[in-house]
Structure 1
């Protein structure tokens, strides 16, 4: 049994039906799952983190957070690689304004790379599910946000099983498909956006956004965060109308 799948099973066994460890209300519980597999070099890891840091501190994103019912969201940043390599880079943090967003961004940019190896998307989803189940927040919505430059998965928790478990728990899975023109790895030979749509994302208002290259990554992240914070079917329609 992989570590990721064991986490999900342990959480399920520890909590009786209807039980929750959540205590603090937020508008959104958001796990940012960032690809740091073998096709992503150190410069690209830094570039991705810079994109997330810029997006989380963007005035439009902060304004969207302030328009929520609770006016705060809970976010954690996780890097994922192979079946045994998923690591929390920034733990759960409440973002409720410019100061907390800046603190999250500083922590993200200061941390070393935490994950390596080939793609194990199912294990990454399982770990994200466990982080949502085991946190101290009660979100109106729960979202796993997976970025990557491939839909392939080798070893670990099967993607269909991890996806089904998350969806059954009321968690929405969104995707950022990095088309990898100019990335370290070779671009995939299939429609990555379609593969994400068919095999990875799911749940109410789920969507995929693409980044054609690393230069457009930061804007794609910003747009995706705005949609996730807004939530609901209208966000999905906005994503498909890009």
Structure 2
């Protein structure tokens, strides 16, 4: 991905939570992260924290001590204004974490791994967790892109995101290489329903970062096609993967 084609998270920060509210799929992902990662009551670094939603839930629901980092200045600004007291937020990149060695028990990355240099980010995750630490990652299963609801309207999404997101086997190998030799996975298939108006609002708001990588003509044509063809209700199927690497 060339620099000029990187997603702009500063631009979408203000509307991010409105366009992507927590739903059943989000909570299913959260519960799997907490269970497989053994996150309750731990000292956690949430890498790529965005607006702080996961960091906040880990603090309130999992009773964890949480720090969050994100590379986007605007995301960090929103997170600082919205997370509960006691949750720390810093602007930092996944491959250069501003924390000393072994400072955390766990590192989480939720829908982030496709945006970073995996080798460097996972090596940093290993550095900042203790000897028996874990990295808990949520992403999409490779089959997800075949059934994603936007693909009929924006056909390039399938190939772009297949190239961006690691496969399960690739991510397992990356975790082992980074020093997390014991790997456990869980696949989560969840469905939610959007109204036509909600779906069109998400498209208009460019609610996923892949929109930043699509040709302008494809976006215009796809938005027009969705405006004509979307039904009154749309079933959204998310095929998610939670993968946890243990260092010991």
Q: Provide TM-score, normalisation by structure 2.
A: 0.36
Larger Rg: 2
